[in-house]
Amino acid sequence: MASYVRSGKLVYARELFAIMKAKNMVDVASYTTLIAAYARLNDIFSARKLLHEMHQVGIKMDINLYNTMINASFKNDDIRNAQKYLDEMTTAGHKPDIITFNTLMTGYSKLNNTIKVEEIFKSLTEANIEPRIDTYNILLSLYARNRSEKAAQVYETMRSQGIKPSMRTFNSLIFMHLSNNDHQKAREVFRMISEYGLKPDLITYSTFVAAFVNRNDLQGAEETLKEMKKQGVVPNVFIFNKLLAGYLRSYGLSSFEQISIEMRNHGISPDHVTYNTLMQYIKKQQNDDSFEKALEQYANMLKDIIRPSDRTLNILLDAAAMKDIRQSEYLTRLMKVTDQQPNSGKKFIRAVLREMKAKGIELNVVTYSILMKGFVYHGDMVSAEEALCTMRSSKIPANKYIYTQLINGYSKIGNITMVESLIEHMSTLNISKDEKVYTSLLNAYAYNGRISDAMRTFAEMWSVKLTQDNVTYTSLMNMFAKKGDIYNTRQVFDHMRKIGLPSDVISYTVLLTAYVINRDPYGASNVYKEMVDAGIVPDSVVMVTIFSRSENAVEFAKTFLLQTVGNDTEAFNAILINIIMEPVLAQLAYELFIWMAEGTQKVSDGIELPLEQNQMRHTHYNNSANNNMLINDDNITVIPSSHHSTLAPNEKTFRIIFQRFEETNQTEYILKLWSHLYQIGYFPLPLIVYKIVLKTLLESGSIDKAMEIWKIFMATKPSHFSRSQLKRVFVQYHVNVY
């Protein structure tokens, strides 16, 4: 039986055991042999079933079987049963031996429970049991993993006891020194190996390769690979997976082919870790096609007949969640332009979940963490709560990340009851509140206008010595800003800078919000200029904050611009680019441009337009190509203002606004701009304006209107180059002009 088990022929071992049972030949040794085989295969259910049968036939466990079951329990993270078998063993009159102590130390070492391991080691010495090399190695390995100098003390104790170190001893010391980034000491230990008549093994070289890759020293990793091959040590898939991670980080996806060739040259096939590394890299790039590329590698993995792990599907799920979020952001922007409802999110997430179910992979805490992130982003707190309930029913404990996500989700919708309930539940589970939880709590209080509770929470953060970061201070600022409380918003902002926290675009945006809500364009202008002087580039969110939150956005914008840019057209252009990038500000961009043009109107006194063209000034192009594109003078947009523009649009200004409206297919604004400019007699116009207006008309089949514009253009006596450029537009639509 023992021979069959050693050779992996468990079926034969079971058959022989059945024969022995039929002949009443089974004893504790035969049961132990088969139970140990099940335990090594991690089949704890079969091991316990056989143990129960053994008890029923009246055969008592010996110390070897107790040690086997303790070890099996630890392998299944079942500490309770490991302790139970230990208690039963002592009750049965068996004293723990060196194997028992080593098994216990190994089990708790894997749990990284240093205190428990040290207690067991102390009990071993008090029981007058001589520690063996394995005992010291367990202790040394634990200290090395935790980068503790106690590892060196254990090594010195071994030497003083005359115990010859093994390769495990040296590998643990090398790992510790490399983890502490002390390559010199690691090399010293490496040289000591030969002094004891030992040779570096695969683990030794793997540890060095991993360390070089972690410090982004690919040359060092390659040299280690050459050295190990020179010493006759054959590299394995672990080493190539580490190299792959380093090459991907430094050279991108194209480096995979080079690593693949090297692996094939050594007869090594990729495993699930290889593909997980690839997919994780692709996911982290967060490109629009990251999910599709990760999915492609997943397909290659299945083609290579490699079973995906739960990590594989979780990586794919996370990529899907990011894809859903990016698509949701795009659809939200699209909805602003078209007033259409976007498709519901999470379709890529659902596809991966179906695949996980098909592969029989159970959802774990990582899976739920990813799902929670997606649910919270989409504001789907019903699904988030259902996921938490499913976790509880499946006995999967929620971690701090999941609670933080839930609290963040509820804080965004101002559900303070759920936020406080979740925080209370965290405390019962001994999960401490961190900066993110406090920040979410601040946001929830801010949403509900509970300033005193928010200030109390902020003070509590100080009392527990939690570091408040930009996000925390910005949350507090946001609470005051939404009420138009400029004084307190500014106080928090200034205090944040006073304690050394750098101001960023978000904190400046919140500060701007206070001035905008308080209808103070002069103060907003000062903050904007302060932000630019600090080297922070305003983005489109800043523009939306300034120009869409005021009740009278146009008048606010004019005052703000006159105060901010004065007569500097280029400075205005820089702001206009960001304004026009946001669909919700398209109308404002149009009105500001007309205001600018009207304020510095250049009437075409020097241009002799034909009579019919002069008459055309009394008509106006409509924004619809299906209504002959004509409307009455009464419908022309008039922008009354006490703020007259002193800004003169230059060619770049025209290019910015006309090209952006063309890119976003907002033809109504293109035609309205042309009509207004023509109506006020703004000539000459840049060539780009004629090009875009003509394209718009010809695209809609309004050839007659295009020909009228051609006549107007020719009346401005353009250069030969300008005429040829505009003729090309007509040629594209197969229209001849002379």
Read off the amino acid at residue 421: S
* Residue 612 pLDDT: 43
* Residue 10 pLDDT: 86
The domain locations on the chain are: 131-199
The whole model's pTM is what?
A: 0.58
* Residue 468 pLDDT: 66
* Residue 581 pLDDT: 80
* Residue 238 pLDDT: 93
Distance CA 459, CA 476 (A): 12
* Residue 614 pLDDT: 43
Tell me the backbone φ, ψ of residue 620, rounded to 5 degrees. -145, 135
Distance CA 713, CA 87 (A): 100
If the chain, 738 residues long, is cut into consecutive pieces of 10 residues, what is the mean pLDDT of each piece?
85 90 89 88 86 89 91 86 92 93 93 92 93 94 91 92 93 93 93 92 94 92 92 92 93 89 90 93 86 89 88 87 65 37 58 83 86 83 86 86 88 86 86 81 78 79 71 80 86 84 88 90 92 87 78 84 88 87 84 83 44 40 37 36 68 92 90 89 87 93 92 90 92 86
Contacts of residues 569-575 at CB distance under 8 Å and 24 or more positions apart, as own/partner, are: 569/647, 569/648, 569/649, 569/650, 569/652, 569/653, 570/650, 570/652, 572/596, 572/647, 572/653, 573/650, 573/652, 573/653, 573/656, 575/538, 575/543
Q: Is 643 helix (H, G, I), strand (E, B) or coil?
A: coil
Distance CA 696, CA 661 (A): 11
* Residue 551 pLDDT: 63
Q: Using an 8 Å Cβ cutoff, are 397 and 428 in contact?
A: no
Distance CA 295, CA 284 (A): 14
| Two structure tokens written together for 659 | 């090209």
Distance CA 457, CA 305 (A): 54
* Residue 1 pLDDT: 86
| Two structure tokens written together for 428 | 């019962």
- For residue 395, CA distances in Å to 365, 392, 401, 430 come to 10, 5, 17, 17
Helix (H) or strand (E) holding 460: helix 451-463
| Two structure tokens written together for 73 | 């329990």
* Residue 467 pLDDT: 65
